[in-house]
Amino acid sequence: MLKLHDIHTYYGRIHALKGVSIEVQDGTIVTLLGANGAGKTTMLRTISGIVPASAGKIEYDGKNIEKSPPQKIVQQGIAQSPEGRQVFTELTVLENLRMGTYPRKDKSEVNKDFDMIFNYFPRLKQRINQLAGTLSGGEQQMLAMGRALMSRPKILLLDEPSLGLAPLVVKEIFHIIQEINKRGVTVLLVEQNAYQALRIAHYGYVLETGRVVLQGTGDDLRRNDEIRHSYLGR
């Protein structure tokens, strides 16, 4: 469904991605692991067109998208829930969710998707008219994910959804990610919580300084001694 082939991305003179190649199969959860600065967020931003690749190819549903602008990429079915939530704090929960529908032309179907979002995240329905800036961290994460889902993506890019959240909320978020995937949305997940990520991922890649250094199924990576030592604390 999504293929990156020999992708190079720069921030100014900083060579952030150095020939990265990955594949994301339709209907799977794929996770990207690595230390801070490894290039995980850059990869998501490159796929989204926010930071353009300087070399290499990104193929989505058989089409090259590495030169497409971000809005076109969203319209084609790739949505991102960014690191740090980045909700619109001065807008209500409902207004934030409506922002996710911006690229859609089937406005008559939008109300059905509100029902879907409130099924995933009942707390958002309870706070529908509350300003997003007054929500808890966990609720803001749910709102960021809900906003991305309102564009009806085929692939959902999630950047550190568990960051700064209490363990019970983290467990809830990961359960919802699995439910979203079961309903047909492919997920590419960047996550510091390697244990939780590998528990739900079908496949994973490990990045170090802009390169893929290890890959395998979630189970294989969870059993890998190097991963257990570096990321799982075991």
Segments making up each domain of the chain, as ranges? 2-230
pLDDT of residue 206: 95
What DSSP designation does 63 have? Answer: E
Q: What does the radius of gyration of the chain's CA atoms come to, in whole angstroms? A: 17
Among 176, 84, 160, smallest CA distance to 121 is for: 176
User: With a threshold of 0.75, does the pTM exceed it?
Assistant: yes
pLDDT of residue 234: 54
Burial (0-12, 13-18, 19+ Cβ within 10 Å), 15: middle
pLDDT of residue 210: 96
Instruction: Assess whether pLDDT exceeds 90 at residue 109.
Output: no
Task: Name the helix (H) or strand (E) containing 107.
Answer: none
Model confidence over 151-191: pLDDT tens digits? 999 999 999 999 988 899 999 999 999 999 999 999 999 99
**How does residue 20 score in pLDDT terms, banded at 50, 70 and 90?**
very high
CATH architecture, range 2-230: 3-Layer(aba) Sandwich (3.40)
Instruction: Assess whether pLDDT exceeds 80 at residue 97.
Output: yes
Segment 20-33 mean pLDDT: 97
**Poorest-pLDDT segment among 134-138, 164-168, 177-181, 208-212:** 164-168
Among 153, 139, 125, 160, smallest CA distance to 89 is for: 139
Structure tokens that stand for 106 in this block: 């089937």
**How does residue 105 score in pLDDT terms, banded at 50, 70 and 90?**
confident
pLDDT of residue 84: 83
pLDDT of residue 28: 98
Structure tokens that stand for 138 in this block: 């966990």
Is 203 in contact with 28 (CB distance < 8 Å)?
A: yes
What is the full DSSP assignment across 21-56?
EEEE-TT-EEEEE--TTSSHHHHHHHHTTSS--SEE
